[in-house]
Amino acid sequence: MSLFQIRSLTTDDSDAGFDPGQRSGGLAAPAEPTTTARVDDAAAPTKAEVSVAAAHLTQLLDQRERLLATANRRVADLQRQARLLAEVICPAALDQERRTKGQALDDWMAEQWIDFISDKARERLLKAEQAIRRYETLQLAYNHLLEEQRQAAGIKPPLEAAPATAVEPGSQLRLGLETNLPATVSPPPESEPTPKVDPARLDDLVRVLATTGLARANRVREKLSALWGLDRRSDVFRQVVDAAVAVGYLRVQTVRREWSDAPAQLMELTEPGRAQAQLLGCRLAAPEYAEGSRRQLSPETISLVLHAAELLQANGYSDVCPFPTPVALPNGVTYSPALSARDSGAGIVYIECEREGTLLPRDERWRQAAQVGGGALRLITTTQAIQSRLTTEINLVRMHASFRLLVFNVNDCLKGKRGPDGSIWLYQR
């Protein structure tokens, strides 16, 4: 039997003692390549390399997640700001859109909000531009008429214009424009005779204003009418006020009240008026109007704060103080509340007053008010419409900061409306 046949019959080369590296003639066969294992060993990464690569990939994934989270926050913030912008610029159109689309508005992207605002506000912006042009024309005509009156009266223009009674904001363009236009076209003050009144009553007016610091004309009228034994509707009070203005003791500011058709009047003694009070032996109290002005509040906001103080007092609050001492917060920031008062159930509470919405973020202001209020933000505003805007704005803040919200508006409070617990706080969350 040949060697080939013997190998074919064996089932295992090792059992037959066959060496594949030898031939039948005893010559060594060429060695087969044996480099496969070495190539595989060189290509395989080490454990250290795998660990470094995994750490790098993990870092990249974490960075991507952070960037994605930041982008999502910015998108959400942009959507919120666009929605607030729509609330301020076109609230009526937005209410109509809510009635039509309901909850679908919550899914609107910022681009949809901007398109909505642009579409709804275009007509209003065109009207505003036309109103500006009409206003400029009227102011030029008024200046011309005033100059003609001065020339006819033979009066030279004063070096400094005397302080004029402020125009009611409702009669001005609501675009933040400043104007020196008086409420009515009248002869210069020099041509008007000083009203003749009892000098003792003029001194009474100075005393009341100096010793109480009151600014609201209605409150001053009440005190003087009681002192003089006159009916509050008597015209004597107006005559005395006109005389005090004419002699330079008093400044009177007329402001619009959103909750009433009748404007309010705010009073403040001038420097000559305060000097007269000192001559009368009065101990001067801090004037309410001056304190509000130092805080850079508008006359309308000062009027709201003072009226809100009266409502709080009439509804069971004591020690009501308009423009109280600012409160220092733990982070070093000073917070200036509009009002402080003593609540029989909660001790001293601080109250915010606001009469308009704004495009500027006020998140920090509401957080500070809630912090000073011990976890509750109390807010007084003018009307139901403004209350709705402000509660919408503050509730967006409450999504990220937990605090209680109590709100009422002066208009509904004066009509006798009350909250679910019977208190003056109509909105409670």
Query: Where in the chain are the domains?
Result: 71-157, 164-170+182-294, 299-428
Query: How many angstroms separate the CA atoms of 148 and 243, rounded?
Result: 27
- CATH domain 299-428 topology: Trna Endonuclease; Chain: A, domain 1 (3.40.1350)
User: How high is the pLDDT of residue 321?
Assistant: 93
HSE at residue 130, side-chain half, CA atoms within 13 A, is: 6
Determine the pLDDT at residue 175: 33
Cα dist from 303 to 215, 285, 378, 382, whole Å: 9, 19, 18, 11
Query: Which pLDDT belongs to residue 100?
Result: 77
For 14-33, b/e burial (b = at least 16 CB within 10 A) is eeeeeeeeeeeeeeeeeeee
What pLDDT sits at residue 304?
Answer: 93
pLDDT at res. 95? 75
The domain 164-170+182-294 is classified under which CATH number: 1.20.950.20, 3.40.50.720, 1.10.10.1100, 1.10.10.10? 1.10.10.10
Q: 34-44 burial, b if ≥16 CB within 10 A, otherwise e?
A: eeeeeeeeeee
Say if residue 192 is exposed, middle or buried (CB neighbours under 10 Å; 0-12, 13-18, 19+): exposed
pLDDT of residue 207: 94
Could you identify the residue written with the tokens 């004419």? 246
Q: What is the CA radius of gyration of the chain?
A: 40
Q: What would the two tokens of residue 289 be?
A: 């109007």
Please report the pLDDT score of residue 53 as a whole number. 83
pLDDT for the residue 37: 45
- Which contiguous run of DSSP H or E holds residue 303? helix 299-314
Amino acid at 47: K
Do 164-170+182-294 and 299-428 have matching folds?
no
Helices 47-89 and 384-398 cross at an angle (nearest 10°) of 170
d(CA 235, CA 242): 11
pLDDT at residue 414, rounded to an integer: 92
Query: Encoding tokens for residue 409?
Result: 């508006």
343 in helix, strand or coil? strand
pLDDT digits (tens), the chain, 429 positions: 443 443 444 444 444 444 444 444 444 444 444 444 444 445 678 888 888 888 888 888 888 888 888 888 888 877 778 777 777 777 777 777 777 777 677 778 888 878 887 777 776 677 777 777 777 777 777 776 767 666 666 554 444 334 444 434 443 333 333 334 344 444 444 444 556 788 999 999 999 999 999 999 999 999 999 999 999 888 999 999 999 999 999 999 898 888 887 788 999 999 999 999 999 999 999 899 888 889 888 899 999 999 999 999 999 999 999 999 999 998 888 999 999 999 887 789 999 999 887 766 788 999 999 999 999 999 999 999 999 999 999 998 898 888 999 999 999 999 999 999 999 999 999
- Residue 76 is predicted with a pLDDT of 80
Single pTM value for the model: 0.55
Tokens matching residue 358: 């704004």
Amino acid at 253: Q
